Structure 1
Amino acid sequence: MAAELNFSPPEVPEPTFLENLLRYGLFLGAIFQLICVLAIIFPVSKSHDGEGGHFEPRKFEVTKKPKGPAPSQSKKSKKETKKKR
């Protein structure tokens, strides 16, 4: 009965080139994500040489997009005739 039991490890095939490429690509992607998360948690302040720590917030101006030219009279009349129907 003891001769029937096989305690040897199962045979696992060697990983192929594409499997290795996928494994290392996933590792690199995980490291990149960790770096991005750490950059959000610990932001690095950029200081310019001449300013000496002077920080002035930027003011963002909202600019309105110019509207197109006013519709011509022919287009207005077409819309009005459709409304009358």
Structure 2
Amino acid sequence: MNQKIVAEFVKYARRQEEELGRFPKTLVFAMNDLEHVSHADRLVNILREQFGRGSDFVAKITGKSDRPLQLFRRFRNRLEPGIAVT
């Protein structure tokens, strides 16, 4: 299910990028970030695979992240990451 949803999002985001001339910053909300069954980790991996733009393009920013506020500032102010999974 996650892969189908991400595949549709990829189509939409690429159209938006063509129209706007830049990638639309996107927050993706995961159900959890639990050890061994992290929905956030699965989404990050699927998004990285689908977009194929390297590991910096999709970032996981959760309460378990090292310096989450700094990561959100980077997300907000720089071109990459384009997608934050939270």
Larger strand percent? 2
Where on the TM-score scale, by shorter chain, does this alignment land: which range? under 0.3
Larger helix percent? 2
Q: What TM-score, normalized to structure 1?
A: 0.23
Q: What TM-score, normalized to structure 2?
A: 0.23
Q: Which has the larger radius of gyration?
A: 1
The higher relative CO (CA closer than 8 Å, separation ≥ 6) is in 2
